[in-house]
Amino acid sequence: MLPEAVPAASVGVRPEVALPRSAAARRERTFFGAMAIACALIVLLGFWRTYYFNDWMPEPFALTPLLHLHGAVFTGWMLLLLAQTALIAAHRVDLHRRIGIAGAVIAAAMIVIGPVVAVTRTAEGVIADHGAPPLVFLAVPLIGIAVFGVLVGAALYLRRRSPGAHKRLMLLATLEITMAGTARLPVVESWGPLGFFGVTDLLVLALVAYDLATSKRLHPATLWGGLFFVLSQPLRLVIGGSAPWLALAAWLTA
């Protein structure tokens, strides 16, 4: 992440030159902080019945150790995102970078655990009904975790070369895993894949609107990362309905 603007007096520039940079930094911190909170709230609301407050439900789900591990790791990512945005707001870029190592470790764990849970739950016949046959729908989380991995990998690669690209790609990667929470929101869960794809894409549009409002153009990471994210969504359903995929999914869940 970029450090805050240096006070004008310390570099010999006029205050009226430095102030707009400071205002832009505040807008940036506010926007990305609000997006992190929105993602965390969506995940909390989506999984409050089946995970976070499961033990207090009239008919609680049987949560296996694997599901607890899955929930802990994915929750860890959301908490880390909130912590990282808070560190930037507190001007602790140094600590933000050090903690970023934990983000890479958590992301790697998610890329392993996510597919295992998706395959085993499908094999057990307990996958949620999202309006598509289970073997077809299996393409959504499996391709989705690949999309997450690509976006996180690109974000980590660009973390020093382009802090602006880093934070946008990390947000897009987080939206990918937020989608699971979106799909379980009380109203959205009955809409099927196109519904939770569309609702999640509203947050991508928020990033687009932020770029256009603040710099009058799309940041390259918003453009290419956003296109990659959005175009992957219908592709998952196309792949999921293909004969090769159905054969592979049947083998994975046998």
Contact 78, 43 (CB under 8 A): yes
pLDDT value of position 157? 93
DSSP 7: P
Instruction: Give 174-213 pLDDT, tens digit per residue.
Output: 999 999 999 999 889 888 888 999 999 999 999 999 999 9
Percent of the chain beyond pLDDT 70? 91
Domain boundaries, the chain: 21-252
- Could you tell me if 36 and 85 are in contact, meaning their C-beta atoms sit under 8 angstroms apart? yes
Confidence band (pLDDT; 50, 70, 90) for 15? very low
Per-residue pLDDT reduced to its tens digit, 129-180:
677 889 999 999 999 999 999 999 999 999 889 989 999 999 999 999 999 9
Distances (CA, A) of 46 to 35, 148, 156, 169, 177: 16, 19, 28, 23, 12
pLDDT grade for 56, boundaries at 50, 70 and 90: confident
> Taking 70 as the threshold, does the pLDDT of residue 8 lie above it?
no
What are the residues whose beta carbons fall under 8 Å from the beta carbon of 210, sequence distance 6 or more?
A: 31
Residue 182: predicted pLDDT: 95
User: What per-residue confidence (pLDDT) applies to 21?
Assistant: 62
Mean pLDDT across 108-129: 88
Q: Is the pTM of this model over 0.95?
A: no
* pLDDT in the model for residue 1: 37
When pLDDT is averaged across residues 210-226 and rounded to a whole number, the result is 96
Mean confidence (pLDDT) of the chain: 87
